[in-house]
Amino acid sequence: MNNSVKIYIAGHRGMVGSAIWRTLQRKGYTNLIGRSSAELDLRKQSEVDDFFIQEKPEIVIDAAARVGGILANSSFPYPFLMDNLQIQNNLIDAAQRFEAQKFIFLGSSCIYPRLAPQPLKEEYLLTSALEPTNEWYAIAKITGVKACEAIRKQFGKDFVSLMPTNLYGPNDNFDLLSSHVLPAMILKFHEAKQSTVDGQHPPVTLWGSGTPLREFLHVDDLADAVVFALEHPLTDHLYNIGTGTDLSIQALAEMIQRIVGHTGDIHWDSSKPDGTPRKLMEVSKMTDAGWKATIGLEEGIKGTYVWFLENESTDISHST
């Protein structure tokens, strides 16, 4: 791949987009473009078309989306469905009409059915009902996968969908109203550690039972997979991106508690929803293509906590 190829990273200020930007820069790509949502609202088709006419990106990476955890998804079903449909439809359709060479669409593991066999294979898509707590988001993402598949099938273009498992890392969202489980735990343990009274750390209350099993991928690993997909034409339209290993939410909490240095109790609020009982990606399709994750969970969380401490004084929530 020529290092001066023009690459548009939609959502370049987000956790995923900024990691992709850093990785591309590190690898010597010199012609990167990005726009904030204030500069270009991707929900507006005419603005997106004007941008493509003016900038003519050769490669488009779609890391723009309205993203959030269970609470945000269930409180705001309409924007989680409609904003995501509008953003991705406008990008995919403009990339198709204005002749981008390549399009990389990022979705998430929530596209797979709630009770699909584990680990999740790409072929389980649309085989049974979705997890109701995030079906709005999942339906939008499934539509994006299908749009890229249709373009690939009808026009033979290199449009590919990558489905990352749960991500974490620098630039994660640390707002408890909209964050995912891992950054929410870092914030809760950190705040409890800060409010020590007579040398004791107050207990931390976490959602659910602690029993669900989850997989976590460092965002720099995902960025590496995106650059791999950019540099190596993939033969199929849909690939899972993960580590292929999971752990219980309780084990995750204990790991984060240790890294942060909180010594109080953990209380589990089982009146709150657990979500899907297990979510682990089958990643052999991507491994067979030649890519695998390299950042261990403990190492990745330690680095993320360091980033959190360095950026704590700035506004590191992404609340919308």
Ligand X SMILES: NC(=O)c1ccc[n+]([C@@H]2O[C@H](COP(=O)([O-])OP(=O)(O)OC[C@H]3O[C@@H](n4cnc5c(N)ncnc54)[C@H](OP(=O)(O)O)[C@@H]3O)[C@@H](O)[C@H]2O)c1
Catalytic residue among 8, 137, 168, 239: 137
Kindly state the smallest distance separating residue 148's Cβ from ligand X, in Å: 13
Q: Would you say 42 or 192 has its CB closer to ligand X?
A: 42
Other CB atoms within a 10 A radius of the CB of residue 32 amount to: 18
Amino acid letter, 164: P
Structure tokens at 67: 């993203």
Cα–Cα distances (Å) from 194 to 25, 190, 200, 313, in that order, read 37, 6, 10, 14
Q: Would you say 180 or 188 has its CB closer to ligand X?
A: 180
Q: Which candidate, 246, 256, 254, 239, places its Cα nearest to that of 301?
A: 256
Q: Would you say 105 or 192 has its CB closer to ligand X?
A: 105
Q: Would you say 17 or 212 has its CB closer to ligand X?
A: 17
How far, in Å, CA of 18 to CA of 24, rounded?
10
Kindly state the smallest distance separating residue 87's Cβ from ligand X, in Å: 6
Helix crossing, 45-55 with 77-97: angle to 10°?
30
Q: Would you say 183 or 192 has its CB closer to ligand X?
A: 183
How far, in Å, CA of 171 to CA of 306, rounded?
12
Tell me whether residue 137 is one of the annotated catalytic residues: yes
H-assigned helices in 98-134: none
Kindly state the smallest distance separating residue 173's Cβ from ligand X, in Å: 6
Which residue, judged by CB position, is nearest to ligand X in the bound state?
14
Cα–Cα distances (Å) from 178 to 22, 67, 181, 231, in that order, read 25, 8, 10, 34
Interface positions with ligand X (CB under 6 A): 11, 13-17, 36-37, 40-43, 63-67, 87, 106-108, 164, 166-167, 173, 180, 318
Kindly state the smallest distance separating residue 184's Cβ from ligand X, in Å: 12
Other CB atoms within a 10 A radius of the CB of residue 123 amount to: 11
Kindly state the smallest distance separating residue 170's Cβ from ligand X, in Å: 11
Which residues are known to be catalytic?
Answer: 137
